[in-house]
Chains A and B, each alone.
Chain A
Amino acid sequence: QKEVEQNSGPLSVPEGAIASLNCTYSDRGSQSFFWYRQYSGKSPELIMSIYSNGDKEDGRFTAQLNKASQYVSLLIRDSQPSDSATYLCAVITRSTLGRLYFGRGTQLTVWP
């Protein structure tokens, strides 16, 4: 059973704050890790991918991966109301040829 767990939320932060989203996964064979943003009524949009331990930064977004702890997180700095969306954590394992395993998602609201 390959499980991906996210903090259920909803998460609410003021504009300008740091939003922290967390995700754990059960399969130690997981090799690729993704964060998708999904606005209501829209399809998931890839915002970050990470493949090795450590931090990866892209603009206001930082993904952090710790394979020993089976933990991946997403930090959003200087949060904006336009960041309000559901954030989906997803992983691909070595044994499942591109199949994504998703968490349930965390709903983020950034209030002005």
Chain B
Amino acid sequence: SAVISQKPSRDICQRGTSLTIQCQVDSQVTMMFWYRQQPGQSLTLIATANQGSEATYESGFVIDKFPISRPNLTFSTLTVSNMSPEDSSIYLCSVDEIQGQETQYFGPGTRLLVL
């Protein structure tokens, strides 16, 4: 299975600032996704990171707030912009692998606290 790393693993930020989260995969993957998990909740998809084109955002998430880059098949970034305490969450990237059957793996996550 793909090995996924995320940076930073955690951060404490001030309201109004922005944080960029990096996701690195050890192999080329077609599909990468960004999820958010708020305290005590299940995972919510923010967007699909498309290589070479704009990300596809889910309802309730917009590019101005969560700009995403996907410069190649092994790397993506998610920026959380103009943060507020409501953005305090775990942010997770995942990759979709199709080796016979489709499987999806998650990175270790970035724990964000906004004060």
Contact = CB atoms under 8 A, between A and B. Distances in A.
B106 A43 contact: yes
A98 B106 contact: no
A43 B104 contact: no
Size class of the contact patch on chain B: 20 to 34
B31 A100 contact: no
B48 interface: yes
A51 B101 contact: yes
Contacts of A90: 104
Given A43-B90, A104-B42, A105-B42, A99 B48 contact: yes
B67 interface: no
A60 interface: no
A102 B107 contact: no
B104 A97 contact: no
B33 A98 contact: yes
Contacts of B61: none
B102 A32 contact: yes
Given A43-B92, A49-B101, A49-B103, A102 B42 contact: yes
Given A88-B42, A98-B102, A42 B109 contact: yes
Interface string B37-71: 00001110100100000000000000000000000
B106 A97 contact: no
B76 interface: no
B94 interface: yes
Contacts of B108: 42-43
Interface string B71-111: 00000000000000000001010101000011111111101
Contacts of A103: 42
Given A88-B42, A99-B48, A100-B45, A46 B103 contact: yes
